[in-house]
Structure 1
Amino acid sequence: MSASILQGFLMRQIMAFILLAVAGTTHAEAIKGLRFVHHDWTLACDNTRTCRAAGYQKEMSDNQPVSLLLTRKAGPGEKTSAKLMLGQYEEIAVPEHLRLHINGSDHGTLSVADGDWTLSMAQTNALLAALSRNSRIVIIGSDGRHWTLSDLGAKAVLLKMDEFQGRLGSPGALVRKGNRSESSVLAALPAPTVVLAQLPPTRTKDIGLAQSPVLRAALQAATAADDCAGLSAEGSPLSRQPQPLTITRLSKDKLLASILCWRGAYNEGNGYWVINDKAPYRPILVTTSGSDDAGNTINAASKGRGLGDCWWTASWGWNGVRFVQTAEATTGLCRLVAAGGAWELPTRVTEVR
């Protein structure tokens, strides 16, 4: 993939990560998730209206890596839970105890179980109050080490969380409290169920379609050139020849066509299309960022940077008629907290059967 094509693709991925989409409807299928990033904090709300906010140490600082995760389900009266992760991208000795200090005041020892540090409700409430204004939040280990959590961006993130969950102006709002009845807060929604279809065997003639120039031309016509250089008859930096197609039967008249579309410094993406099993093929693009598939499922995963401390993931499932997105998430900001990322921050959740 050329530098300009790769740059264009990555920019589209970054924009997708921070895209805000809130739909005012009561059906879980129609609720879109929200992702928002401001300074040292990020927010992800999923289609059940559960929200997760993560804060970190200041970017480009000498502070030791640390991250705090706030989780709140939708609905009246729901509380916010909080847990902490110390930077562990590089192996560290974990202190025996951690204490929370806010603006110089000691708020007690954090609880720990199975390596997870959790805040009590009193500690969480004190922290939430501090995050709505300028505050100094420090985690002090029993060995004397300090981890400083940035408050920069927290107020905007918490305000966005309240807005998504319909809490603005209510007593339970995190930032902008008011007297609006708590019963008016938006209710939680169930995760939609996706039932995967069983696939019939792929036929010999299906496999032969991989050599069809008519099919390749149809895929090219349905896909932006920048999104899938592997389809090009002129070849690409992937190789000096077009990439080979793979064909899998989905149903009595539908097939799945796939091809390696692009390759970057530390990521690559496969394209997947649902097509008719004979011309006209009428391809419907599922994604050009796929990593692997099992026929009735497609998975995607890509690093935010080569260090692998932040990821984007997604998946789709074949329900017998079309591919439905079953999951989408990131692991938070790239702050060297943990290999593979500190948290799972979904914007799309489903129950797959």
Structure 2
Amino acid sequence: MAGTPRGIAFTHHDWELACDNTRTCRAAGYQPLSNDGDDGDDRDDSNNGQEALPVSVQLTRQAGPNQPVRGELHIGHYGEETTDTFPARRSLTMLIDSRPVGDVAIAQGHWFEGLTPGQTDALLAALPHRSKIEFTDGKRTWKLSNRGAAAVLLKMDEFQGRLDTPGALVKKGRRDERDVLPAVPAPVVIAAGVPVDDSVQLSTPAMATLRKALVASVGDECPALSEPGESPDAIHVRRLSGTRLLASTTCWRGASTTAEAYWTINAAPPFAPRIVTTMGGEYSKGQIDASRWAGGFDCMHLDEWTWDGERFVQTKKGTTGMCRQIDMGGGWSLPVIVTDVRRSAVRP
């Protein structure tokens, strides 16, 4: 993955941006939460004085000259109430400053739908300004905040090299569109085969030596590691290859969650541990999944590492968007690292 662009993440008020290492960018905006600034109070008279209904829009643009922006609408349905009151299918009218800009059909169980190119263009024209953006069924209204949108769209243009070009979303100019940065293919990572029966049992002296080495490698980052183990196998060891092993153990404990630390080590002392992550979750067949809840149960961090025969390469990194009660687990996929993982043969 050396030489590929680095993805970025950026958040400003009610909008966020994730651009990945292929230079694809995804911006997401949400209902207002704050009663200061351009959006005014987050309570909406059209919804009988209740807090703004959860809603999100994602704008996706690939890198390269003359690339269009694709818009999607996602109606929040995190709680039971929305499902109970929402009919099987409902048509929502998109409004910009009270002017209709076409309808969007939303079906229960399929809570997101693409916007037409015309609706997306109207939205892009309205977002950098004080325009009022709404979706309504005549009884209830979902209000989309524009606080932070201008900064996020400007950052998207900057990352993709579009500033001062005709295709820029905010700062348009006459610079040649051919100067826009090109798209980059996702890096290919060959996942090395690992033994099917990968469990390794170390002797008691070797395990004690390993524990000391692991503690020294992370210091205070893993308080649970320094505590006495509850059983002899508190540190789990698995075989990756003839000379390399994977060691893991509980790193820290929270009120409702725990995190595992993972290291690659030599198959025999000196173990020379190299930390992969202190925020791990599960390991399976050469892959470490470190996905975890970010707040409640409506947003997540997404992280993954894959063994390539020499080291663990991070093959996924991103989030599912802000914790705004859009959906269980989050409203979108907003990666900053994407890869093309291909499997090699499994070792016996």
Normalising to structure 2: TM-score of the pair? Answer: 0.87
Stretches of structure 2 that go unaligned for 5 or more consecutive residues are 35-41, 43-50, 343-348
Query: Post-superposition, which runs of at least 4 consecutive aligned residues in structure 1 deviate over 6 A?
Result: 239-243
Distance, in Å, in 2 between the alignment partners of 1:247 and 1:276 is 11
Distance, in Å, in 2 between the alignment partners of 1:259 and 1:29 is 33
Shift of 1:310: 0.8
- SS of aligned partner of 2:129: coil
> 206-215 or 187-196: which moved more?
206-215
Question: Among residues 210, 213, 224, which one is paired with 1:230 in the alignment?
Answer: 224
Matched letter for residue 298 of structure 1: I
- SS of aligned partner of 2:251: strand
Aligned counterpart, 1:54: 28
Distance, in Å, in 1 between the alignment partners of 2:277 and 2:21 is 20
Matched letter for residue 242 of structure 2: K
Distance, in Å, in 1 between the alignment partners of 2:159 and 2:327 is 28
- SS of aligned partner of 1:273: strand
Q: Is the CA contact 1:54–1:332 (under 8 Å) kept in the aligned structure 2?
A: yes
Stretches of structure 1 that go unaligned for 5 or more consecutive residues are 1-26
Distance, in Å, in 2 between the alignment partners of 1:203 and 1:178 is 58
Is it true that 1:315 corresponds to 2:312 in the alignment?
no
Give the direction of change, closer, same or farther, for the CA distance of 1:243–1:30 in structure 2 (3 Å limit).
farther
Distance, in Å, in 2 between the alignment partners of 1:116 and 1:59 is 21
Shift of 1:57: 0.5
Question: Among residues 334, 343, 347, which one is paired with 2:323 in the alignment?
Answer: 334
- SS of aligned partner of 1:168: coil
Q: Is the CA contact 2:75–2:111 (under 8 Å) kept in the aligned structure 1?
A: no
Please give the residue correspondences for 1:144-163 in structure 2 after superposition, counting only pairs within 5 Å: 144-163=139-158
Is it true that 1:103 corresponds to 2:97 in the alignment?
yes
- SS of aligned partner of 2:237: strand
Give the direction of change, closer, same or farther, for the CA distance of 1:52–1:134 in structure 2 (3 Å limit).
same
Is it true that 1:265 corresponds to 2:259 in the alignment?
no
Question: Among residues 192, 201, 214, which one is paired with 1:207 in the alignment?
Answer: 201
Please give the residue correspondences for 1:117-136 in structure 2 after superposition, counting only pairs within 5 Å: 117-136=113-132
Once the two structures are superposed, what CA deviation does each residue of 1:289-335 show, in whole Å capped at 9, x if it has no partner?
Answer: 11100141100121112x30110011000000110001012010011
Aligned counterpart, 1:81: 70
Q: Is the CA contact 2:71–2:114 (under 8 Å) kept in the aligned structure 1?
A: yes
Distance, in Å, in 2 between the alignment partners of 1:209 and 1:304 is 38
Once the two structures are superposed, what CA deviation does each residue of 1:161-186 show, in whole Å capped at 9, x if it has no partner?
Answer: 00111101111000000001000000
Distance, in Å, in 2 between the alignment partners of 1:28 and 1:242 is 40
Percent identity over paired residues = 45
Please give the residue correspondences for 1:1-353 in structure 2 after superposition, counting only pairs within 5 Å: 30-60=4-34, 61=42, 62-91=51-80, 92=82, 93-94=86-87, 96-111=90-105, 114-141=110-137, 143-200=138-195, 206-209=200-203, 212-225=207-220, 227-232=221-226, 234-235=227-228, 244-305=234-295, 307-353=296-342
Matched letter for residue 343 of structure 1: W
Shift of 1:118: 1.8
Distance, in Å, in 2 between the alignment partners of 1:203 and 1:133 is 58
Once the two structures are superposed, what CA deviation does each residue of 1:135-184 show, in whole Å capped at 9, x if it has no partner?
Answer: 1101111x421000000000000000001111011110000000010000
Aligned counterpart, 2:47: none
CA RMSD of aligned residues (A): 2.0
Distance, in Å, in 1 between the alignment partners of 2:76 and 2:16 is 17
Q: Is the CA contact 1:111–1:119 (under 8 Å) kept in the aligned structure 2?
A: no
Aligned residues: 319
Shift of 1:228: 1.0
Matched letter for residue 330 of structure 2: G
Q: Is the CA contact 1:97–1:110 (under 8 Å) kept in the aligned structure 2?
A: yes
Matched letter for residue 68 of structure 2: K
